């Protein structure tokens, strides 16, 4: 990928299925590649030869373009949708994979896109050095805290903390995927980490949701985890991946 073009998986219009902006309509720009390999990941890990571009927002009339996709093409697509369908999108989700791996490209792309809509960055919350270079061009940050029981990673706490210290200057919330093996100490450590920066930052407990929208974790266990986190934080919500219920991407 050169500085003015991006390796993408897809660009489309849909509802945000997770977190605080759940249900709002967004333009999704999904970057390929990630610096992690979480156990529950359902994203294609490798670069794909083609990117799927939606022609009409929300109609799934995709066509293929070869990667990498030029920045100009993305900006023209978003500006065209804004002209043709004014007001339907709340913001642009920059997602992945891990989009911060493309931080140099994002320095060029985000200011151009932000001319049309606010920028919502979805990230695994590790690459704080790269975030620092982009914060001025971002409106919302959705960052993960990866739990050992669901992601398989045990040593990301320090990186998450440094990331959240930076992201806290924006409209930021923390999302963590919980599962049947998640233990109380993981919820406590997550809540303590967030509270040490700002106890008003929302924490979303996201029960692992399979591709058909099924959640295995019991309601009682979810409520127990919420009670545990609420001892440290003002706003703890339980939100599954809702877009899977209606068969959306
Ligand atoms: S951070 Fe996200 S995209 Fe990367 S491996 Fe984990 S779940 Fe997949």
Q: Which residues form ligand 1's pocket by a CB distance below 6 Å?
A: 34, 36-38, 41, 43, 96-98, 124
Q: Which stretches within 128-211 are classed as H helix?
A: 128-134, 148-151, 157-167, 184-197
Distance in angstroms (rounded) separating the CA atoms of residues 238 and 111:
33
Q: Whose CA is nearest to atom 6 of ligand 1?
A: 38
What atom in ligand 1 is closest to the CA of residue 34?
4
| pLDDT for residue 46 | 78
138-193 pLDDT per residue, tens:
999 999 999 999 999 999 999 999 999 999 999 999 999 999 999 999 999 999 99
pLDDT at 45 over 80: no
Provide the residue ranges of all domains of the chain, joining segments of one domain with +: 5-180
Closest residue (by CA) to atom 3 of ligand 1? 97
Fold of 5-180: TIM Barrel (3.20.20)
pLDDT reported for residue 147: 98
pLDDT in tens, 234-243: 999 999 988 7
Ligand 1 centroid – CA 230 distance (Å): 26
Across the chain, where does the E strand assignment appear? Answer: 5-6, 8-15, 25-31, 50-54, 62-66, 69-70, 91-95, 119-123, 140-144, 171-178, 203-207, 236-238
Q: In the predicted model, what is the mean pLDDT of the chain?
A: 94
Compute, in angstroms, the gap from residue 83 CA to the centroid of ligand 1: 33
What's the chain's length in residues? 249
Degrees, nearest 5: CA angle 239-137-141: 15
Check the annotation: does 38 bind a ligand: yes
State yes or no: pLDDT of 2 exceeds 60.
Answer: no
């Amino acid at each position: 990928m050169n500085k003015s073009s991006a390796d993408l998986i897809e660009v489309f219009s849909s509802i945000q299925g997770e977190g605080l902006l759940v249900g709002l309509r967004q333009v999704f720009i999904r970057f390929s590649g990630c610096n992690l390999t979480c156990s529950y990941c359902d994203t294609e890990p490798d670069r794909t030869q083609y990117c799927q571009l939606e022609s009409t927002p929300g109609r799934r009339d995709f066509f293929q373009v070869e990667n990498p996709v030029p920045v100009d093409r993305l900006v023209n697509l978003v500006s065209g949708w804004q002209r043709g369908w004014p007001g339907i999108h709340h913001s642009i989700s920059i997602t992945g994979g891990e989009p911060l791996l493309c931080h140099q490209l994002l320095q060029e792309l985000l200011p151009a896109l932000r001319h049309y809509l606010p920028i919502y960055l979805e990230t695994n919350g590790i690459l704080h050095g790269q975030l620092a270079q982009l914060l001025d061009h971002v409106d919302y940050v959705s960052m993960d805290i990866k739990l050992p029981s669901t992601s398989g990673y045990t040593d990301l706490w320090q990186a998450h903390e440094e990331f959240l210290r930076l992201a806290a200057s924006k409209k930021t919330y923390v999302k963590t995927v919980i599962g049947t093996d998640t233990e109380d100490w993981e919820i406590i450590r997550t809540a303590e980490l967030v509270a040490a920066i700002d106890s008003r930052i929302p924490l979303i407990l996201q029960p692992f949701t399979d591709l058909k929208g099924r959640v295995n974790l019991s309601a009682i266990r979810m409520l127990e985890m919420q009670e545990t986190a609420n001892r440290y934080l003002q706003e703890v919500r339980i939100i599954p991946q809702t877009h899977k219920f209606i068969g959306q991407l």
